[in-house]
Amino acid sequence: MAAKKILMITGDFTEDYETMVPFQALMAVGHTVHAVCPGKKAGQTVATSIHDFEGDQTYTEKRGHNFALNATFADINPADYDALVIPGGRAPEYLRLDAAVLAAVRHFFDADKPVAAICHGAQLLSAARVIEGRTVSAYPACRPEVELAGGIYADIAIDGAVTDGNLVTAPAWPAHPAWLAQFMTAMAAADTARQAA
């Protein structure tokens, strides 16, 4: 597969693993990943949170690393990118209030480009109204939002992922191997479709 230019939309208290791991893994295999946050510039950081599963009724949350952004949200054009990654954590909760973020997310669906969202990333998908009739995994607490947006919630193992057309979703960071593998398959399939057109 040819190297892709991938946009990652993130924000303060994004989930640490769900930001760091795909950012580094996708670059390790030759892709360019631009991590952006509305209101911040390249070189600035977002705070991350570490969500863990330790036997409580919901995940626990601890302060994570500072994650350095390498592009400026105000300067990007979604049309310049081949694919989109939406990490989970707490960032999607407030990012979904930003009209420019929602417009960027819609671009990838309108153009049928690959999109990978994990955990609470479904909150952005729901707010952008792009999942009606689509099968979507997310952290279980996001199930009502997926269903209220017309999506079909995929109740899968925490280390599983699901692909529906251009959309690859997973419930949480234990799914990274499956989620990233399916995302790379979706990007390769988009290449094949483009070449056949």
| 194 Cβ contact list (under 8 Å, min separation 6) | none
Cα-based angle 38, 144, 49 (whole degrees, multiple of 5) = 40
* Beta-strand runs (E) in 10-156: 14-15, 32-36, 45-52, 60-68, 83-86, 115-118, 135-136, 152-153
Tell me which of 51, 120, 142, 176 is the catalytic residue. 120
Tell me which of 31, 37, 51, 119 is the catalytic residue. 119
| 192 Cβ contact list (under 8 Å, min separation 6) | none
Q: Is 37 a catalytic residue?
A: no
Three-state DSSP class for residue 84:
strand
Query: In what helix (H) or strand (E) does residue 99 lie, and over which residues does it extend?
Result: helix 99-110
Q: Is 107 a catalytic residue?
A: no
> What angle, rounded to 10 degrees, do the helices at 176-196 and 16-28 form?
50
How far apart (Å, rounded) are the C-alpha atoms in residues 181 and 110?
23
Catalytic residue numbers? 119-120
